[in-house]
Amino acid sequence: MHDKEQTLLLQALLYEQGHPRRTQHILKVYALARLLGEEEGLTMEEQRVLNAAAILHDIPIRYCKLHCQGDAGQENQRRAAPKLVEAFLTQAGYPPEDIPPVLELVLRHHDYSAPHGGLLGLLIEADLIVNSYETDPPLGQLETWEKLFQSQAGRQLFAACRAGLESQTSQT
């Protein structure tokens, strides 16, 4: 079976040209977003949008590094996102009505200030768990992020992540 989600994942991974961190980041956030969505009982449409957003959530980074003098800051990413998201989704065969909700998630996934919940909350939770493992942030940062978690599976996974990182720190 070769559905549009597989096509999108393949195209996003190939776009990264093997960049080790970004390639693995896509795979991890995608897997966790799927899991969190399924645990929350999303509809098929919601899950399709969440999964696509998880695959594409950091897609502007490479583009910005290549075309914005290496500056992949938030502002440049926001400027580059609409065209990239539309192109990737269209090429993979997604219906046009999926483009606005996926783009909104991509654009807002670093906005931790607004109240969350829904698909954005799940994408943020998946990204924060992966970012925590990848960057091993200080305890204060983990405590701040922990407050953002609302889904049950997300809270459990983040608590496990935090416990694992803390015990690793205490052993070194």
State the residues that interact with Fe ion by CB under 5 A: 58, 127
Q: How far apart are CA 108 and CA 28, in angstroms?
A: 19
Q: How far is the CB of 19 from Fe ion (least distance, A)?
A: 13
Terminal-residue alpha carbon distance, the chain: 46
Give min distance, CB of 29 to Fe ion, in A: 6
Provide, rounded to whole angstroms, the least separation between the CB of residue 135 and Fe ion.
Answer: 11
Q: Are 109 and 78 in contact (CB under 8 A)?
A: no
To the nearest whole angstrom, how small is the minimum distance from the Cβ of residue 125 to Fe ion? 12
Nearer to Fe ion by Cβ, of 98 and 127: the residue is 127
- Which residues touch 148 (CB under 8 Å, ≥6 apart)? 112, 116, 121, 124, 125, 128
Residue with Cβ nearer Fe ion (45 or 79): 79
Nearer to Fe ion by Cβ, of 58 and 125: the residue is 58
Q: Decide whether 45 or 136 has the Cβ nearer to Fe ion.
A: 136
| Euclidean distance between CA atoms 26 and 124, whole angstroms | 13
